[in-house]
Amino acid sequence: YCLTDKPEKRGFDPDKIASTKYPITEFQPVYYVADSFADAKDKVSQWAATIQRPFSVRYNPYTQSIEVLQRKSHVLTLARDIKSNFLFLPSLALSERYMDEAVRTLLFVIGEVATLVDALVKMK
C-alpha cells in the first residue's frame, strides 16, 4: 500500500508526525518520507531537544546507561563524577602520548558540567 499512489507522502517533519492522528481501522493515509536515515535521525534529535521536561538525563559511558537526574542524590553523584574526571585530566595531559585522551576527557567533562547546570536549574 505504501508503495502505491494511494497514500499521501509528505516531507519528514517530526513535529507534524507527533501531532498527526491516524485511523486504526484502515491503511495509513499519510506517510512522512525522509531523504535518508541520517536526515531522519538529525531531525528527530533536533525535535527531541525542544521537548520540555522537568528533569535532566545523562548518558553514563561507564555503565552504558541513561540516568534520570531528578533527585538531589542523582545530581550529587554527577558532581562527584565530574570532579573525579576533572582531577584525572592533569595526569593525562603530562604525557604527549595521552594528549588526545586528555582532550576527549576535557570535552566529556564540559558536557557533563552542562548537564549538571541543566539539572540544577530544573531542581529549583
pLDDT tens per residue, range 34-82: 999 999 999 999 998 888 888 888 888 888 998 888 888 888 888 888 8
Cα 105 to Cα 102: distance, rounded to the nearest angstrom: 5
Smallest CA-to-CA distance from 61 within 98, 103, 104 is with 104
Are 57 and 66 a contacting pair, CB within 8 Å? yes
pLDDT tens per residue, range 6-30: 999 999 999 999 999 988 999 999 9
The three cell numbers of residue 117 are: 547546570
Smallest CA-to-CA distance from 61 within 109, 114, 95 is with 109
Largest CA distance in the chain: 66
Please tell me what DSSP assigns to residue 10.
Answer: E
